[in-house]
Amino acid sequence: MSRIRPTTATTTRLPPAGCAPAGTSADNRRNEHKRGVVLRLKRAEGQIRGVLRMIENEDPCDAIAQQLAAVRNALDRAFFEMMACTLENEITGAPDSDERQDRVSEVLRILSKYA
């Protein structure tokens, strides 16, 4: 299902779901990231239910494969949103550069292991 967006000159660009506007507090940014991840996961949950219905209805394999790819993409985006929040927290939350480097290295380890 696609969304129709107005194309008037007064339309403002909103940040992607989960991205907090610049200048907000760390707690607000974390809450926005959390909200973005939850919304993406709910979207994926709905897509999975749709795929199950398609399989039960014996829809064509091409159509099912397309929806499975969409689910995989939604999950990947949720993962990367979560990791972006984690990375932001590690960078801004470490008191000195050595600790910050250690924390960033841990996030990179997680990314290389699961991404």
With respect to residue 5, please indicate whether it lies within any of the assigned structural domains. no
With respect to residue 65, please indicate whether it lies within any of the assigned structural domains. yes
Each residue's pLDDT tens digit, 9-62: 333 333 344 444 445 577 888 888 889 899 999 999 999 999 999 999 999 999
pLDDT score at 43? 92
Each residue's pLDDT tens digit, 68-102: 999 999 999 999 888 888 888 877 777 778 888 88
CATH number at residue 39: 1.20.58.1000
CA distance 20 to 109: 25
CA distance 50 to 28: 33
With respect to residue 35, please indicate whether it lies within any of the assigned structural domains. yes
CA distance 64 to 7: 32
pTM above 0.75, yes or no: no
With respect to residue 1, please indicate whether it lies within any of the assigned structural domains. no
Range of the domain at 93: 26-114
With respect to residue 9, please indicate whether it lies within any of the assigned structural domains. no
Closest CA to 17 of 44, 54, 48, 52: 44
Question: DSSP 3-state assignment of 5?
Answer: coil
